[in-house]
Structures are given as C-alpha cells and as structure tokens.
C-alpha cells in the first residue's frame, strides 16, 4: 500500500476498508525497505506496536471513533514511551529506557494511536541540519546528498517518506519548521504551553515545545486536538481555545484576513527563486480577498543573539544531569571529579559541548548581567514588537529559511553559519507564539516552505488558514522521488 494522508487513512479506518494492523505492517515494510538509506528510525518494537494496532482494531469494530484511532505515528527520540529507549541522539544515554509515557504520548495512546518508531535527531535536539546525531544522520528524501534539517530530522523524514502519516518532533528555535520546509511537509510549533513538556527531554525549558508533523494542516489537527490542553505534570501548560474545531478542521475564509509581511524577514539574503515562491504563495491569499500590508518588527535584528544566549544558558543547566551517575554509561576513573568529567567528555558530541560551554560562560560571575540578563531584556522588546503588530494584522507570513536544503558538510565547520540557518525561526519562540511551516513550492526540485505566525493561542486559526491555503494548492501533496531510494521494492 502506498503512503497516504492521515485524513485518507482516518476515513478508511472508520469505514472498515482499512485496519490498523495492516497500516502498521505497511509502515514496518516501508521502514525496512527504505531506512537503510534514510536513517530516520533509531528504535522500534514491532510486536508491541502490532499489539497496540490490534487493540485499536477491536475498538473500531466496537464502534469507537477517535481522530487518531488506529493511525501509525513516529516519535522523536527525546520523547518518553514507556519501555523503549530514549537516546536523544546521544551516546550518553546508551541503555536508558523510558520509565513512563510523556503526556503527549500517553494522550495519543489513550486515543488509539500506534507508535511505530523512535526517530533520529540532532543530539539533545541541538542542531539545524540533522548532522549532529551521534548515529548516522537522517537524509533528505528529495536529495540524499542534502540535509533534512534539524533537529527533528528523523520525524520529518518519516512523514515525507511515508513511514507514518503523523509524527511528533520538538521545536525550540525552529526544529520542526526548518526540516518541514526542507522536506515538503507541514509542521506546527504551538503556543508555548499548549502541549505539555512532561516527558520531553529538556533542552531549553522556556523555549521547548512538542511539535506535530504531517502532510497537511488537516492531518496535524487530528493529533493536535487529542494532545492539547493543561497537564498537572507541567506547570507551564495552558488550555487551547477552539480545540473542539480540530477534530474536523474546516478551511478558514480568507476574505478580509489581514496578513503582515515583516520587512526584516524579506532580506537580500534570500536565495534566488525562494522570494518568488513566497510572493506566489501570498498571491494565493490575496486572490481570495486577504489584505496584505508591510509591517516592522524592529528588534528582530537582535533575535539570533538573544535566542542563542538564552538557549545555551538553559542548556548548560538542563544538561548537567547527564553525568553517568544515575543513567547512561559511566567512565571508570579514580575520583568523582574525574569520572564526571570523563563521562561527559566521552558521551557528549561537539555541538552539545559547545553550547554547554557557551551557556556556562553566559551565566558565570561577571558575565551574567552583560549577557544573560541583557538577553532577557531583549526578549521582552521582541515580544512587545509582536504585541504591537498584532493590533493591526491577524497573522504574519514569512520565509522559513533563506533557501533550500544545503549539502551535507556545507556548514559543519562554521557554527555561526549553522546558527544563522535559524534566522527566520527563532524570533516567534522567544515570544511564545504559535507558528507553522507549510509547503510553498520547489526551486530546482527542492522544497521551499512558508511560515505563518499568529498571536498567542491562535493555533486553531493558523491551522484553519493553512488548511484554506492547502485546499487551493497541491504543493503539500508532492512526494519525493523514491526511484533513487528503493523503487524496486514497489513502495
């Protein structure tokens, strides 16, 4: 069976034409056929997944109906699913298995979704390309010589390659949106707090959010509505207004929709062809009656500096727990200090070490005020920019990235160039805003995404707007050229 959308499979399951077990078996056949080249799955428990699928089929036969009942889903390997590994893409967690379910995973399981694999990622979700996994990096299915984007590389590739119609990633500064743009899928970063962080391995706690990934906005809505809402295990969690509209998402009327184009995002740095695709996407909105105006977010120029000062500071604190004392491999040394130092040196990769060191420096005596405290103040100014702009527009439309997916190795020796890959995606997380990436077309055969950003708790409106755009276009329905990665399997 060829890959399909979550909505397609939902209808087939509800009609009794499809079974969850057959879909899950097809997911595993596809993974076995293609993942030797794509490298996006780090762990599976096929028998357990098939048992969950059989239970879903029993519920379907009994007349139970749920937006995700029986649907396969891939989980980023920094989310806990009880009994399976949580590697976070790092050697420092070899042998660690989740003792409980993350809240979002538990809610999906309760609604009948079937996890089929744990997905590859940049180590501890630190990276923009997917190249910083301690294991073989996931490959972009549109061009195996190019990066898929990070850090949720495996989750996005799994959807693009048809392993499952739904996946979960995490987004701190662009980690579901950037790879979504590079791989031609749709991904949502919710308003901060709408999806519980309980059971998501912390990177930067004031920025991290679980992000659902699928072919379309309508597919994302199926899973998002099941997972959203307050969680007593996460004190930062909030309820989502309009969640009842997600089970059967309807396109929003675009007539009169006020769209802002931030001048700071449309720069000379956009690659040739990308700006043209963005203009064409905006024209789709205006032809349906949307009103477009240029706006300004003047403190955007401080966003990259602010993000990386805050992110690395929180990283240095959160990752202090990975020391070999309670879990993971432990170096054998004579003293406690030597053991801790050697364990972290052996277990952590270069990018993780770089961010820990940068964060420790930012928080150190004599530099806290000059760096961390100043970054907090800049964050407030960036948030105020958004508050002011959303008084006159309903949402913002921006690029996701300056260009298409770049070749493996192109930025590995230049950390600053790698960080600048996030230039359009870090600003909204600093303000806690919902934003999504959706396909907008192709340049030289490679996907390009457009980003929509909304005010706090406008997540449902963003998805309805994206659904309206995708009802008028077909970019999101284009699939990668599987002839180069396993057409002989007939998948």
Catalytic residue among 151, 153, 216, 458: 151
Active site residue 76: yes
Please give the structure tokens belonging to residue 394.
């309903």
Contacting residues for 40 by C-beta, under 8 A, at least 6 apart: 119, 120, 138, 139, 148, 153, 154, 155, 157, 158, 161, 163
What does the longest C-alpha to C-alpha distance in the chain come to?
A: 71
313 CB neighbour count, 10 Å cutoff = 24
Give the whole-angstrom CA distance, residue 394 versus residue 398: 14
Closest CA to 198 of 105, 310, 116: 105
Give the whole-angstrom CA distance, residue 440 versus residue 171: 20
> Which letter, b or e, does each residue of 67-95 get, where b requires 16 or more Cβ atoms within 10 Å of its Cβ?
bbbbbbbbbbbbbbbeebbbbbbbbbbee
Residue 387 CB-density burial (10 A; 0-12 exposed, 13-18 middle, 19+ buried): exposed
Q: DSSP letter at 231? A: B
Strands of the sheet with 114-119, listed across from one edge:
41-43, 114-119, 72-76, 166-171, 209-214, 186-189, 435-443, 446-453, 395-399, 258-262, 291-295
Give the whole-angstrom CA distance, residue 91 versus residue 29: 28
Catalytic residue among 20, 27, 66, 76: 76
Helix axes 303-318, 374-389, angle to 10 degrees: 130
> Is 187 strand, coil or helix?
strand
CB 244 within 8 A of CB 429: no
Active site residue 175: yes
29 CB neighbour count, 10 Å cutoff = 15
* Active site members: 76, 151, 175
């Amino acid at each position: 069976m060829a890959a399909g959308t979550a909505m397609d499979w939902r209808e087939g399951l509800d009609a009794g034409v499809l079974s969850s077990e057959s879909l899950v078996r097809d997911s595993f056949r596809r993974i076995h056929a293609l993942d030797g080249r794509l490298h996006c799955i780090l762990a599976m428990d096929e028998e357990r997944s098939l048992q969950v699928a059989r239970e879903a089929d029993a519920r379907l036969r009994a007349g139970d109906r749920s937006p995700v009942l029986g649907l396969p889903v891939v989980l980023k390997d920094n989310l806990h699913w009880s009994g399976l590994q949580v590697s976070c893409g790092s050697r420092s967690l070899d042998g660690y298995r989740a003792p409980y379910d993350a809240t979002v995973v538990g809610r999906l399981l309760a609604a009948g979704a079937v996890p089929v694999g744990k997905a590859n990622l940049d180590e501890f979700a630190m990276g923009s390309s997917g190249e910083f996994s301690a294991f073989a990096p996931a490959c972009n299915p549109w061009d195996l010589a190019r990066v898929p984007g990070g850090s949720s590389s495996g989750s996005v590739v799994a959807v693009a390659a048809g392993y499952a119609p739904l996946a979960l990633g995490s987004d701190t500064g662009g980690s579901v949106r950037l790879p979504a743009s590079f791989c031609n899928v749709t991904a949502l970063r919710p308003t901060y707090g709408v999806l519980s962080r309980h059971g998501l391995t912390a990177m930067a706690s004031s920025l991290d959010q679980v992000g659902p990934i699928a072919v379309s906005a309508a597919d994302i809505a199926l899973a998002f509505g099941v997972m959203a809402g307050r969680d007593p295990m996460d004190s930062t969690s909030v309820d989502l207004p309009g969640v009842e509209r997600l089970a059967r998402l309807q396109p929003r009327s675009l007539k009169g929709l006020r769209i802002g184009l931030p001048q700071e995002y449309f720069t000379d740095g956009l690659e040739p062809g990308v700006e043209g695709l963005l203009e064409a996407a905006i024209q789709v909105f205006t032809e349906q009656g949307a009103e477009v105006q240029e706006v300004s977010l003047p403190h955007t120029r401080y966003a990259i500096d602010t993000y990386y000062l805050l992110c690395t500071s929180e990283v240095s604190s959160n990752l202090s727990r990975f020391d070999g004392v309670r879990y993971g491999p432990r170096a054998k040394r004579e003293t406690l200090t030597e053991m801790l130092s050697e364990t972290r040196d052996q277990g952590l990769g270069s990018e993780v070490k770089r961010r820990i060191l940068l964060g420790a420096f930012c928080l150190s005596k004599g530099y806290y005020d000059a760096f961390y405290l100043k970054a907090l103040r800049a964050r407030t100014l960036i948030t105020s920019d958004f508050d002011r702009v959303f008084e006159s527009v309903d949402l913002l439309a921006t690029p996701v990235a300056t260009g298409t997916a770049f070749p493996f190795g192109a930025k590995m020796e230049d950390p600053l160039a790698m960080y600048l890959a996030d230039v359009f995606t870090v600003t909204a997380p600093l303000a806690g805003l919902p934003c999504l990436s959706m396909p907008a077309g192709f340049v030289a055969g490679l996907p390009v995404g457009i980003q929509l950003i909304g005010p706090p708790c406008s997540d449902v409106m963003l998805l309805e707007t994206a659904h309206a755009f995708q009802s008028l276009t077909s970019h999101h329905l284009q699939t990668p050229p599987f002839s180069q990665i396993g057409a002989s399997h007939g998948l």
